[in-house]
């Protein structure tokens, strides 16, 4: 056997010392890393500035440098009525012209006063939090949802806003099955389960009267279509949209185009005010250019958007999507 094949006592000692030094060095570096990590966690973290800094903790935040958006988005506008809110007279005068309301401001105030004797004094809105991102799906009723297979994607959202009589049963694969907020007015009212918010878009004083009576004595009145006398819903989850918010959407977002905004577009702007991330489904015409509902066979192909400024609304949606403020799912 050759001499070099035998382990040298000196070599063995040197190797032991090297290992001990390596362990000490590793422990030292680990200590520095732990210290720096704790130090950095205590320091204030820089955030991108935005109109909603208090809730800007999600993947996307509102831009400050786009003048088109900054001109339109006004965080100070109250989306819902509450006992702490007084509707300005100029907003009432604009609102009363939507459906030719003849009664005056005093009648409106008395009707709203009765409203909060039945329903909660403030809306049940999920508050912004740095630890929680409020993800919302606004689901319109466009025929472009047919065959979209968006159902599971829609169901994954925390807040799911649907409009009027938009159906889910039988259409779950395309539109989902869950609803957390149902926007309606008396002429489009449907019964709700106990966990869904009823969000009333009032277009006249009678609409607020209907809400008061549909939960109590029963409503007996007339409109351009038959109106339900009673409705099933959780009265603790009722929310009434502020007429001044409706005015704001029409005048600020749509530059006063059309007589007033569609329910769907108002719902989208509402979502921008109460959500951190907004995904939009079921808006616009279908692939053939027709404005239709996904659960109906379109009979009148000349039907467009009526008194609502459909083209301006759609352009605004595309602009919001381009700015990455919303995600817009076309469906085709």
Residue 33 CA, chain-centre distance (Å), reads: 42
All residues at 6 or more sequence positions from 241 whose CB lies less than 8 Å from its CB, including other chains? 79, 80, 81, 199, 200, 201, 202, 266, 270
- Alpha carbon distance 214, 286 (integer Å): 35
The pLDDT tens digits for 247-257 are: 999 999 999 99
- What is the residue range of 11's domain? 3-42
At 233 the pLDDT is: 98
Does 72 share its domain with 34?
no
Is residue 151 a known part of a binding site? no
Residue 105 counted as an annotated binding residue: no
Domain count for the chain, please give it.
2
Distances (CA, A) of 330 to 124, 219, 278: 30, 39, 14
**Mean pLDDT score across all residues of the chain:** 84
Of residues 305 and 68, the one with the higher pLDDT is: 68
pLDDT above 70 (res 82): yes
**Backbone φ/ψ region at 306: left (φ over 0), alpha (ψ -120 to 50), beta:** left
User: Is 43's pLDDT higher than 70?
Assistant: no
Q: What local confidence, expressed as pLDDT, does residue 301 receive?
A: 57
308 marked as part of a ligand binding site: yes
276 close to 57: Cβ distance less than 8 angstroms: yes
Range of lowest pLDDT (11-20, 114-123, 318-327): 11-20
Least confident of 44-48, 173-177, 241-245, 270-274: 44-48
Q: H/E element holding 136?
A: strand 135-139
Return the percentage of the chain with pLDDT > 90, whole number: 67
Q: Report the alpha-carbon distance of residue 174 to residue 82 in Å, rounded.
A: 36
Claim to verify: residue 205 and residue 262 sit in the same structural domain: yes
**Contact between 243 and 121 (Cβ < 8 Å):** no
* Lowest-confidence segment of 49-58, 95-104, 112-121 by average pLDDT: 49-58
pLDDT confidence bin for 302, thresholds 50/70/90: low
Is 141 assigned a ligand-binding role in the annotation?
yes
At residue 18, the pLDDT reads: 59
Whether the pLDDT of residue 128 is over 70: the answer is: yes
Q: Establish if 156 belongs to a structural domain.
A: yes
Please check whether residue 47 lies inside any domain of the structure.
no
Same domain as 294, residue 322:
yes
CB atoms within 10 A of CB 293: 19
Q: What is the pLDDT of residue 48?
A: 30
Residue 85, annotated ligand binder? no
Residue 180 placed within a domain: yes
CA atoms within 13 A on the CB side of 261: 29
Alpha helices of 43-142 — where are they, by DSSP H?
A: 67-72, 89-96, 105-118
Instruction: Point out the residues that are catalytic.
Output: 260, 308
């Amino acid at each position: 056997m050759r001499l070099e094949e035998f382990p040298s006592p000196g070599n063995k000692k040197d190797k032991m010392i090297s290992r001990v030094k390596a362990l000490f060095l590793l422990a030292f570096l680990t200590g520095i890393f732990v210290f720096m990590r704790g130090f950095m966690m205590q320091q204030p973290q820089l955030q991108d500035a935005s109109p909603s800094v208090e809730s800007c903790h999600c993947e996307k935040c509102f831009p400050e440098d786009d003048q088109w958006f900054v001109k339109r988005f006004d965080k100070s506008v109250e989306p819902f009525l509450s006992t702490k809110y007084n509707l300005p007279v100029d907003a009432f005068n604009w609102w009363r012209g939507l459906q030719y309301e003849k009664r005056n401001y005093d009648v409106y105030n008395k009707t709203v006063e009765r409203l909060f004797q039945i329903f909660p004094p403030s809306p049940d809105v999920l508050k912004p939090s740095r630890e929680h991102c409020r993800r919302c799906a606004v689901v319109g009723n466009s025929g472009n949802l047919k065959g979209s297979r968006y159902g599971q994607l829609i169901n994954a959202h925390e807040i799911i806003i649907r409009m009027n009589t938009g159906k889910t049963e039988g259409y779950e694969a395309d539109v989902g099955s869950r609803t957390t907020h149902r926007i309606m007015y008396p002429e489009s009212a449907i019964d709700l389960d106990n966990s869904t918010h009823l969000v009333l878009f009032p277009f006249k004083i009678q609409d607020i009267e209907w809400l008061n009576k549909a939960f109590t004595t029963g409503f007996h009145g007339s409109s351009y279509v038959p109106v339900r006398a009673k409705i099933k819903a959780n009265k603790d989850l009722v929310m009434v949209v502020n007429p001044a918010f409706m005015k704001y959407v029409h005048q600020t977002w749509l530059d006063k185009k059309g007589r007033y905004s569609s329910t769907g577009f108002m719902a989208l702007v509402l979502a921008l005010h109460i959500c951190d991330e907004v995904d939009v489904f079921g808006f616009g015409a279908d692939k053939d250019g027709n404005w239709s509902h996904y659960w109906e066979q379109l009979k009148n192909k000349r039907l467009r958007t009526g008194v609502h400024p459909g083209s301006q609304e759609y352009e605004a949606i595309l602009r919001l999507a381009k700015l990455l403020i919303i995600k817009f799912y076309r469906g085709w």
